[in-house]
Structure formats: C-alpha cells, structure tokens
Amino acid sequence: MSDAYDREMRQKAHCTWKQMGEQRELQEGTYIMLAGPSFETVAESRMLQNLGADAVGMSTVPEVIVARHCGLRVFGFSLITNKVITDYESREKANHEEVLNTGKQAAQKLEQFVFCLMASLPLPGHAN
C-alpha cells in the first residue's frame, strides 16, 4: 500500500503543532509494527534499525490498512514512549513503567494537539 497517510492531514498536523507554539519539531519517519505484547530484543532492534525504522510499535498498522481499505483518509501519530536498546552490554532495559510515565507526561499536550487538529478539519460534506 502506498500513500497510506493523507498528505493534507499531515501538513495540517505540522501547521497545528507550530500554531500551538511548540519549539520541538514534529517529526515524520518510518514506523514498523511488531506483534506484541513485548519489547524488542537487541537483535530485533538492530534489524529494524538496519531496515530504516525510525519507530517501532505494536499497533497502528492493522488499523491503517483497514481504514484505507474502507476508503478513509488516514492520519496517524505515535508518541515515542521508550528507548530501543541496541547494545547487548547496556544496563538499560525497556520497561512498562517508563512507557506509562512518558504517556502521563505527554497526555495534556497530545490532548491539545488532537483537539486543535480536529478543529482545523472541515466537517464531511462541507467546504473548507
């Protein structure tokens, strides 16, 4: 499937983020899905890095495929909640607590972003 994510919605997302006054740039990249629920092994992390992955997760892709199959416009975003470990000698470990804490820290900002983005979109059947 090509062009899974709607270009116009992606542009609106970038504009919305800037209008919110965010200094940190909204990034785009290659998302790869692995079935979970589990964190990636070091070997998997290295493989994904070699394949060009910018982010990895356990969801999003099936939902996007179904939505596009139904003819829907799709915009997706991900909150990166933990660091992928690529070094066998690292003492760091991905853990659920880190994921939950990161989500809690970002919740209010993400809520504002989604609200502002949705408000900028025209209602179905109405002109811009």
Domains in the chain with CATH codes = 7-120 (3.40.50.1580)
Element (H, E) at 55: strand 55-57
CA quadruple 19, 117, 110, 78: dihedral positive or negative? negative
pLDDT tens per residue, range 44-81: 999 999 999 999 999 999 999 999 999 999 999 999 99
- The pTM of this model reads 0.81
pLDDT tens per residue, range 92-119: 888 899 999 999 999 999 999 999 999 9
Neighbours of 16 (CB within 10 A): 21
